Amino acid sequence: MPRRLAATLAAATATATFAAAPAAHADSLDYVALGDSYSAASGVQPSDPDASPLCLRSSRNYPHVLADEIGANLTDVTCGAAETRHFTAAQYPGVPPQLDAVDAGADLITMTIGGNDSGVFIGALLACGSTGILAGGKGSPCKDTFGTSFEDTVRNKTYPALVEALRAVRDKAPDAEVAILGYPWILPATGGCFDKMPVAEGDVAYLRSLQATLNDAVGRAAEETGVTYVDFSVASEGHDACRPAGVRWIEPFLQGTNPVVVHPNALGEAEMAAETLEALGLD
């Protein structure tokens, strides 16, 4: 654990143990949560009363879970549909650039970001769903139509955008511990579940490869900028959208419980918080 973060957490713990509650609040970690709908937990109820309705932010998102666990002062500016460019540009009227919430006093910053850039990942999910339905779940119509175009865009556009965004975070809070989370698996490695995720059987591996490429870009950008990468490639295995309720972290396109489909449910957000705490040495 970085020295500043460890010292701040230790001071907060000691204050909470030996002093009054107001003093404990004053000494707790200053935590800023950035990112997109996977950070905002879009669709998970209840919604965050402090958020713009446009952001679809939940009060059960992983930043709230994490902050409650360590007693941090949370500033949550996560917003559904955010891209890396929304760190420095307003996303909606009344929703300022996310980096406006960050200053040199921040102790901890977390985010998921990059999945919406260039419309690649959501575009691929929609495209593969459409072609899968037309093909009756057979073959690999999405791969046959789009080839390497989605992964090429992630490597050539999303990756440099992630590096730029993380450097901007570092510039505003050079002493903060910064963590960027990967995206938990949406689909299993093979097979799929056409009744819940209408992707042709041969395109399940194609979308899984695209998600692996996206997470690789996130991890490489983190390494280049000295940021902690929270890797879900092992932890989220077996918790994809094809699994039953109570096991899956991601809700499916059909037969799910989240109105914002193909997004984490409350269990997924809680597990994302737990993995982040472990990666940061705060568990």
**Residues carrying an active site annotation:** 37, 263
Query: Residue for token digits 């998600």?
Result: 211
CA-CA distances (angstroms) from residue 283 to 21, 66, 70?
Answer: 22, 10, 9
Count CB atoms within 10 A of the CB of residue 21.
9
Longest Cα separation, the chain: 65
Residues 74/67, Cβ–Cβ less than 8 Å: yes
Which tokens sit at 38? 């996977």
The strand pairing partners of 108, in sequence order, are: 31, 177
Helix 201-225, helix 120-134: angle, nearest 10 = 170
Query: What's the rounded Cα separation, in Å, for the pair 233 and 180?
Result: 14
